Amino acid sequence: MVFIVCGLVTGVVVSQQRAAEDAEAFASFSQNAQRLTRDVELRLASLTQLASGAAGLLGWGASLSREGWTSYIGGLQTIGFGSGFQGLGVAFRVAPAASERFVAAIRKVDVPNFRIWDRAATRRLDDELFPVTYLVPASASNERVVGFDLGSTAASAAPIMLARDRGEPGVSGPMRDGLASDATLPALYLFAPFYKGARPATILARREAFGGVVLVALNPERLLQPLLEQGGARGVVLRVTDMTQGTVVFDSRPGLDHFRSRLAMRAKLTPGGRVWQLDFAATPELAATVKHRNSLLVGLVGAFGTLLFTGIAYHITTLRRSAEQRAREMTAELRASEDELMRHRDHLAELVAERTADLLAAKNAAERAYRIKSDFLANMSHELRTPLHAILSFARLGLDQLGGRGDEKAQRYFARVVEAGERLLALVSDLLDLSKIEAGKMPVDLQPCDLMQLLREVAAEFEALAEERELHWHLPSAGLPAVATIDALRFSQVLRNVMSNAMKFSPDGGVIEVLVSETTMVLGRRAADRSTSVAAWRIEVIDEGVGIPEDELETVFDSFVQSSKTRTGAGGTGLGLTICREIVAAHRGRISARNRAEGGAVFEILVPR
How far, in Å, are 168, 272, 426, 560 from residue 201 at the CA level?
12, 19, 25, 12
Q: What pLDDT is attached to residue 93? A: 95
Any idea which of 231-245, 271-285, 530-544, 559-573 has the lowest mean pLDDT?
559-573
Write out the DSSP string of 385-398: HHHHHHHHHHHHHH
Q: What pLDDT is attached to residue 603? A: 96
Residue 168 in 3-state DSSP?
A: coil
Of the two residues 399 and 76, the one the predictor is more confident about is 399
* Alpha helices (H) along 403-447: 408-438
Q: What long-range pairs does 583-587 form, CB within 8 A, spacing at least 24?
A: 583/437, 583/444, 583/490, 583/491, 583/493, 583/494, 584/494, 585/525, 586/437, 586/442, 586/444, 586/487, 586/490, 587/444, 587/446, 587/486, 587/487, 587/491
Rounded to an integer, the average pLDDT of 478-505 is 90
- Total residue count of the chain as it appears in this document: 609
Rounded to an integer, the average pLDDT of 246-274 is 84
Confidence class for position 197, pLDDT limits 50, 70, 90: confident
Rounded to an integer, the average pLDDT of 144-155 is 88
Q: What pLDDT is attached to residue 508? A: 93
CB-based contacts of 353, cutoff 8 Å, min separation 6: none
| 85 phi, psi to nearest 5 deg | -70, 120
Residue 250 and residue 224 in contact, taking contact as beta carbons nearer than 8 Å: yes
Residue 560 and residue 430 in contact, taking contact as beta carbons nearer than 8 Å: no
How many other C-beta atoms are found inside a 10 Å radius of the C-beta of residue 180?
22
Convert the pLDDT of each residue in 292-315 to its tens digit: 555 555 556 555 555 555 555 566
Q: What pLDDT is attached to residue 311? A: 59
Angle at 192 between CA 145 and CA 226, to 5 degrees: 70
Side-by-side strand order, sheet with 210-218: 132-136, 85-92, 210-218, 188-195, 170-171
Rounded to an integer, the average pLDDT of 261-276 is 87
Residue 442 in 3-state DSSP?
A: coil
How far, in Å, are 90, 195, 196, 209 from residue 167 at the CA level?
16, 9, 12, 11
The gap between the terminal CA atoms of the chain, to the nearest Å, is 90
Convert the pLDDT of each residue in 581-599 to its tens digit: 999 999 999 999 999 988 8
Query: Parallel, antiparallel, or unpaired for β 533-542 and 601-608?
Result: antiparallel
Distance from C-alpha of 404 to C-alpha of 395, rounded to nearest angstrom? 16
* Whether this model's pTM surpasses 0.75: no
Buried b (16+ CB within 10 A) or exposed e, 436-456: bbbeeebeeebeebbbbebbe
Distance from C-alpha of 251 to C-alpha of 267, rounded to nearest angstrom? 15
Q: What pLDDT is attached to residue 569? A: 47
Rounded to an integer, the average pLDDT of 241-260 is 83
Q: What pLDDT is attached to residue 90? A: 93
Q: Quick one: DSSP state of residue 149?
A: B
Residue 545 and residue 506 in contact, taking contact as beta carbons nearer than 8 Å: yes
Of the two residues 218 and 125, the one the predictor is more confident about is 218
Confidence class for position 184, pLDDT limits 50, 70, 90: very low
Domains for the chain: give ranges and CATH numbers: 1-314 (3.30.450.350), 370-438 (1.10.287), 447-608 (3.30.565.10)
Distance from C-alpha of 88 to C-alpha of 54, rounded to nearest angstrom? 9
Q: Please, what sign has the CA dihedral across residues 34, 35, 38, 39?
A: negative
Q: Quick one: DSSP state of residue 568?
A: G
Confidence class for position 245, pLDDT limits 50, 70, 90: confident
Residue 449 and residue 491 in contact, taking contact as beta carbons nearer than 8 Å: yes
Of the two residues 237 and 313, the one the predictor is more confident about is 237
Query: For residue 483, which of 440, 522, 535 has the smallest C-alpha distance?
Result: 535
Q: Report the chain's C-alpha Rg in angstroms.
A: 35
Distance from C-alpha of 592 to C-alpha of 607, rounded to nearest angstrom? 12
Convert the pLDDT of each residue in 438-490 to its tens digit: 766 678 889 999 999 999 999 998 998 899 999 999 998 877 788 999 999 99
Distance from C-alpha of 371 to C-alpha of 351, rounded to nearest angstrom? 30
Residue 577 and residue 497 in contact, taking contact as beta carbons nearer than 8 Å: yes
Convert the pLDDT of each residue in 337-387 to its tens digit: 888 888 878 787 788 888 888 888 888 887 787 677 766 666 666 677 677
Q: Convert 294-359 into a string of H (helix), E (strand) and C (coil).
A: HHHHHHHHHHHHHHHHHHHHHCHHHHHHHHHHHHHHHHHHHHHHHHHHHHHHHHHHHHHHHHHHHH
Summary mean pLDDT of the chain: 81
Convert the pLDDT of each residue in 199-228 to its tens digit: 899 999 999 999 999 999 888 888 888 888
Query: For residue 223, which of 31, 33, 29, 39 has the smallest C-alpha distance?
Result: 39
**H or E element: which one contains 249?**
strand 247-251
Of the two residues 328 and 404, the one the predictor is more confident about is 328
Confidence class for position 510, pLDDT limits 50, 70, 90: very high
The answer on pLDDT for 66 being more than 90 is no
Any idea which of 25-34, 160-169, 251-260, 559-568 has the lowest mean pLDDT?
559-568
Distance from C-alpha of 114 to C-alpha of 107, rounded to nearest angstrom? 6
Residue 261 and residue 282 in contact, taking contact as beta carbons nearer than 8 Å: yes
Confidence class for position 568, pLDDT limits 50, 70, 90: very low
Residue 372 in 3-state DSSP?
A: helix
Angle at 145 between CA 143 and CA 151, to 5 degrees: 155
CB-based contacts of 549, cutoff 8 Å, min separation 6: 563, 564, 565
Distance from C-alpha of 565 to C-alpha of 569, rounded to nearest angstrom? 8
Rounded to an integer, the average pLDDT of 29-50 is 87
